[in-house]
Chains A and B, each alone.
Chain A
Amino acid sequence: DTGVSQDPRHKITKRGQNVTFRCDPISEHNRLYWYRQTLGQGPEFLTYFQNEAQLEKSRLLSNRFSAERPKGSFSTLEIQRTEQGDSAMYLCASRTGQGGAEAFFGQGTRLTVV
C-alpha cells in the first residue's frame, strides 16, 4: 500500500465552475476525513466517513460543498459554483477506528479559483 493518494495535486478553475477532487485512502482504513487548509492556518475539519456512511457534514463550509464515499472505498469532494474564497489546500486523511490511531494524510489538492 502506497498510502493516501489524492488527485489532482493542483487545480486551477474559473469562478463559478464546479470541481471534484478524489481521495484514495489506505485500503484497511474505515474512516476517511476531509480538511481544508488555507495559507498560514492549520487544517480545518470538513467532513468524515465511516465506511460509506457520512457521519458528520455540518462542518462543510456551505451547501456548495458535498462529499461521497461510494462502497466505502475512495471518496470525492465536490465544490459547486466555486468562489475565490474556496482557494485552499484540500487534504484527505484516513485511519482506523481506534481512538488514538494515527491519521495518514495525502499530499493534498491545491485549488486556485481565478
Chain B
Amino acid sequence: AQTVTQSQPEMSVQEAETVTLSCTYDTSESNYYLFWYKQPPSRQMILVIRQEAYKQQNATENRFSVNFQKAAKSFSLKISDSQLGDTAMYFCASINSNSGYALNFGKGTSLLVTP
C-alpha cells in the first residue's frame, strides 16, 4: 500500500521568512509523481508543485521549491519569502497508478503566516 506521511500538523512562519514542510512517502512503483497541494480556508485545493521521480533536479515554482530525496523517500516543500496568502492547509500526495492516477494524500500541515 502507498502511504504518505506528514509529521507536522501545524506550523507558523512570519511574513517574508522561509519555512519547510516535511513529507515522507512509501511506494512500490518504479516511476511515480509527487505533488504538493494547497487548500486555503473555504477554498478549493490547488496544485503548488509537482515532481516526477525519475527527474533528479528538484522542482521549483517561483517561491516554492522541493527537496526530493528519492533514496530516503522524502519530499519536503520550501516556501521562501512567505506571504499572508500562503496561509492554508498543505497536502503532500503521491499518484496511485493502480487506481487511475488517483491521489493518495497525507494528513496535511496547517501553515499560518503571521505579519
Which residues does A use to contact B, with CB under 8 Å?
3-4, 31, 33, 35, 40-45, 48, 50, 55-56, 59, 91, 93, 95, 97, 99-103, 105-108
Contacts and interface: CB of A to CB of B under 8 A. Distances in A.
Interface stretch (B13-21, B42-50, B68-76, B77-85): B42-50
B62 interface: no
B26 interface: no
B97 interface: yes
Contacts of A91: 45
Interface residues of B, number: 25
Contact of A42 (B31, B44, B52, B105): B105
Nearest to A110: B42
Contact of B104 (A45, A102, A107): A45
Contact of A95 (B96, B101, B104): B101
Contact of B103 (A41, A43, A97): A43
Contacts of B115: none
A56 B47 contact: no
Interface of B: 4, 31, 33, 43-47, 50, 52, 91, 93, 95-97, 99-108
Given A44-B105, A99-B101, 14 more contacts: A4-B44, A40-B108, A41-B107, A41-B108, A42-B107, A43-B45, A43-B105, A45-B96, A99-B31, A99-B33, A99-B97, A102-B50, A103-B103, A107-B44
A103 to B, nearest CB: 6
A2 B93 CA distance: 25
A100 B52 contact: yes
Q: List the 5 closest pairs (A to B, CB-CB), nearest first.
A: A42-B105, A105-B45, A100-B33, A45-B102, A107-B44
